[in-house]
Amino acid sequence: MRRLSHSLAVLWVVATLTFVLMRVTPGGPFDREQRLPPQVLANIAAKYHLDEPLISQYLRYMTGLIQGDLGPSYKYLDRTVRDIIISTLPVSALLGILALAFAVIVSFPAGLLAAYYHNSWTDRWCLFLATLGISLPNFILGGLLIWIFSLQLGWFQAGRWGTLSSIVLPTITLGSSAAAYLTYLLRSTLIDTLGADFIRTARAKGLKEIVVIFKHAMRNSISPLLTVLGPLLAALVTGSFVVEYVFAIPGMGRFFITAVTDRDYPMIMGVTLVYSTLLVSANLIVDLLYSVIDPRVKRH
Amino acid sequence: MRTPYLPYRATTLALCLFLALLSCAPSSEQAQEKVFRVNLGTEPPSLDWSLATDQVSFNVIVNLMVGLTEFDRNLRPAPMVAKSWEIHDNGRKIIFQLRDDVLWSDGKSVRAQDFEYSWKRLLNPSTASEYAYILYDILNAEPYNQGKITDSDLVGVRALDDWTLEVRLKHTAPYFLAITTFEVTYPQRRDIVEKNGTRWTDPSIIVTNGPFLLESWSHEDEIRLKANPGFFLGKPAIDRIEMVIVNENTTALAMYEQGQLDFIDNRSIPIFEKHRLIRQPGFRIVPQLRGYYYGFVTDRKPFDDVRVRKAFAMAIDRRIFPKILHGGEQPINSWIPPGMIGHNPEIGLPFNPSEARRLLTEAGYPNGKGFPEITLGYNTDETHKMVAEAIQSMWKQNLDVLVRLDNQEWKVYLNKLNNDPPHLFRLGWGADYPDPDNFMKLFTSTSGNNNTRWKNERYDELVERAARELDEQERVRLYNEAQRILCETDLPIISLFVTAETTVLNPRFTGLEFNSMARLMLRQVRLTEPTGANPS
């Protein structure tokens, strides 16, 4: 319960800070190359209550927020912020979950093999691939994958979303740096754990190697990964601007950038709050999972 | 060393999944339908033509709707829903006679009342339309939009009967007919709009009168149009249009080259690919009614001296722009672009570096010595950067002056222009409608868009007279004199080039019209005759 109220307080702070910051930034939502006549600007300001004092605009927004009304978009005039988020978040979420699944599926065996065969060729190969995954920027990896697998080999679609063929390349692109990061993390944690006394004891007791690895070593190495998994999922699920841009995927990621360049205030608030909520919830869940999985952590 | 077998099992499983996914090839369209696919580039902010302000929205709307008039090949207003019009009272009253055979998609007739409603909605202050000002020439339009009068019956547009629309203007406006080609003046159905509020543009609700119907709108993804069998000029040859939304131009180009798109324009072509596409069949460069210029801030040193301004202008060799931008940009020394009346390529100062140096010396800066440090500002963008760097090096080479370059994000840049402008700034200007008035009015002393702080009474007078003059030859004469002031004697700006759109159309198709207003008109698109005879 205490955790919950902390989380709500965090969200409130984020909302207020974002509100202030975006109003302070120079440039407004209706600045155009062709400057609008003053009466047109006055009409627009009246429509969106931008002519009211800042504090009443803030209160107006917050009361709306509590009722689930995220306001109109200043850019997409036929839809509300809620409409936009409801239609784009699931796409980003699906891509994010697939990317995370890919990252986990790749990193667990890779981290395990690298740690188990510490300092062998297997280890070096895994490390090399992991370094590559982290250092290659998304837009380069994405472009490369499109060029090789779509244009040259014709195996997958070059972009868009909706068919099985369109899922593969963006998932790999988005998941690769997460996979690399998780591989590194698992490898170093596991190397530590495998060198510990209790592992030697388990082996000395004559336990099968499989049991030693999975029941004892892995279980004790999971917590650093869990810590990271929460925020990682939040970040992946709210969409990557770059991956969605390169692959033309109709997700939410783009709004993190475009809402700011457009100065679409309600949209900026909307996506920031969605991201913060997901992040805060993910951390809450991870906290709870700790006490279940790692016997060293006490439940509150 | 014992090898754990579980990782191997996992790997095999992953491999099987991968192969399974590989075998799922994208299904091919078996349709007999004729489909035409384009890339819009970005999500249209609005399909409500009272609220839309940008290219992308208009490109969809122009295929869904028709208005009083439409552009012909020479960008003059030609009859559309209006079959004829009469001009009375020295251009202050226009009576439009409408056709009676244009139908809305629900079968009702398009009537004069629909135009009256739409124009008043555009002007209604609670609609808060950005383009309300486009109708300010109409009697009482501006006070109505300002809220000074609240009775919309006082606004000078009304339906005399179902097929007659009367427009009363507050002054003579020769360009008003050109305004009736503009999408924001398309008619609207009061019953549909009032009943549905902001949702009225939803595909299941929207009612339109043009060649295509809005079949579906999958946001950020794709818009689908289908041919309107009830269109008054006949059902279009293409059955369906798929307008995808792909932001990244390299991806879009890849899609075109893979056969997933049938037409691409600047939105879908990266700059560095343009020269390669020249050899493609279906390649065409379409000059646009859009100028690119550098403005001087003329109320402070050093550009308060006209000799310095002229020196800087004459030190630029404009031939470099199409070479570095590869887009068919047209260098121009005057301001009104080709294709508009009043365009005059003989006006303007030529490239003359020795004369430029002489002028700079005369102004007190021999060989650039003692020249104060100045900044050229532009908004962050690859193209603007290339142009700025090219010009910076020309000024260094020809005048021995090194100008500092400074760029900001677009909105921050606009803000800066208002509050603390650099000595020189980059801007563009595009025509809302193809009449020189909205190009020349930009630099009058009362224009809210004149960032040069330059004022010239004679220029103001000429532009105002030309705006009230019905005789075209007289207008041209007035604009010639005004352009001479703007581009030869006073030179508050350096007009650099007119932009162009690079387009490639798959030769399977013909009849696509991409005009100088950057409108993608798809009404006449059809499959090319198989014998190879293309009526173009």
B142, B145, B251 ranked by CB distance to A248: nearest: B251
CB contact under 8 A, B247 and A28: no
Q: Give the integer Cα–Cα distance in Å for A162 and A144.
A: 21
Interface of A with B in 215-244 (CB under 8 A): none
B6, B202, B409 ranked by CB distance to A210: nearest: B6
**Residue A37: its chain B contacts at CB < 8 A?**
133, 136, 448
pLDDT surpassing 70 at residue B29? no
| Cα atoms in the Cβ-side hemisphere of radius 13 Å centred on B529 | 6
pLDDT surpassing 70 at residue B306? yes
**Residue A69: its chain B contacts at CB < 8 A?**
none
Structure tokens at A39: 């009466």
Asked whether the CA dihedral B154, B160, B161, B164 is positive or negative, the reply is: negative
List the single residue in A with minimal CA-CA distance to B438: A34
Residue B35 burial (CB < 10 Å; 0-12/13-18/19+)? middle
Q: Report residue A231 CA to chain centroid gap.
A: 7
Q: How far is A6 from chain B (nearest CA, A)?
A: 36
Q: Grade residue A21 by pLDDT with cuts at 50, 70 and 90.
A: very high
B1, B219, B428 ranked by CB distance to A250: nearest: B219
A43, A113, A158 ranked by CB distance to B254: nearest: A158
**Coil, strand, or helix at residue A139?**
helix
**Coil, strand, or helix at residue B180?**
coil
**Residue B203: its chain A contacts at CB < 8 A?**
none
Would an 8 Å CB–CB cutoff place B245 in contact with chain A? yes
pLDDT in the model for residue A286: 80
pLDDT surpassing 80 at residue A243? yes
**Residue B290: its chain A contacts at CB < 8 A?**
none
What single string gives the DSSP state of each residue in B409-435? -HHHHHHHHHHS--SEEEEEEE-SSS-
Would an 8 Å CB–CB cutoff place B524 in contact with chain A? no
pLDDT surpassing 70 at residue A165? yes
- List, for residues B391-431, the tens digit of each pLDDT value: 999 999 999 999 999 999 998 999 899 888 999 999 999 88
CB contact under 8 A, B449 and A164: no
- List, for residues A263-279, the tens digit of each pLDDT value: 999 999 999 999 899 88
As a whole number, mean pLDDT of residues A114-131 equals: 86
List the single residue in A with minimal CA-CA distance to B9: A109
B128, B414, B448 ranked by CB distance to A27: nearest: B414
Average pLDDT, chain B: 91
CB contact under 8 A, B414 and A46: no
| Pairwise pLDDT comparison (B534 vs B376), residue with the higher score | B376
Assign residue B220 a region (left: φ > 0; alpha: ψ between -120 and 50; beta: otherwise): left
List the single residue in A with minimal CA-CA distance to B7: A109
pLDDT surpassing 70 at residue A148? yes
Would an 8 Å CB–CB cutoff place A87 in contact with chain B? yes
| Cα atoms in the Cβ-side hemisphere of radius 13 Å centred on B447 | 22
CB A81 within 8 A of CB A267: yes
Residue B202 burial (CB < 10 Å; 0-12/13-18/19+)? middle
| Cα atoms in the Cβ-side hemisphere of radius 13 Å centred on B48 | 29
**DSSP character for B450?**
-
What single string gives the DSSP state of each residue in B119-147? HHHHH-TTT--GGGGGGTTBTTHHHHHHT
As a whole number, mean pLDDT of residues B211-226 equals: 95
pLDDT in the model for residue A298: 57
Q: Give the integer Cα–Cα distance in Å for B11 and B23.
A: 19
Q: How far is CA B333 from CA A286, B28, B517, in A?
A: 66, 51, 21
Q: Give the integer Cα–Cα distance in Å for A232 and B239.
A: 46
pLDDT surpassing 70 at residue B532? no
As a whole number, mean pLDDT of residues B281-297 equals: 94
User: Mean pLDDT lowest for which of A2-11, A71-80, A287-296, B129-138?
Assistant: A287-296
pLDDT surpassing 50 at residue B3? no
Q: Give the integer Cα–Cα distance in Å for B465 and A64.
A: 52
Would an 8 Å CB–CB cutoff place B130 in contact with chain A? yes
Pairing of strands B77-79, B69-71: antiparallel
Structure tokens at A168: 């593969």
Q: Give the integer Cα–Cα distance in Å for B69 and B244.
A: 28
Q: Which residues pair with B51 in a beta bridge?
A: none
Would an 8 Å CB–CB cutoff place B150 in contact with chain A? no
CB contact under 8 A, B132 and A40: yes
pLDDT in the model for residue B247: 86
Q: Give the integer Cα–Cα distance in Å for B441 and B463.
A: 7
Q: Grade residue B536 by pLDDT with cuts at 50, 70 and 90.
A: very low
Q: Grade residue B31 by pLDDT with cuts at 50, 70 and 90.
A: low
Structure tokens at B222: 């794709």
Between chain A and chain B, the number of residue pairs with CB atoms below 8 A apart is 167
- List, for residues B100-156, the tens digit of each pLDDT value: 999 999 999 999 999 999 999 999 999 999 999 999 999 999 999 999 999 999 999
**Residue B252: its chain A contacts at CB < 8 A?**
248
Q: Which residues pair with B70 in a beta bridge?
A: B78
Q: Which residue, A127, A154, A123, A129, is CA-closest to A141?
A: A129
Beta carbons within 10 angstroms of residue B344's beta carbon = 17
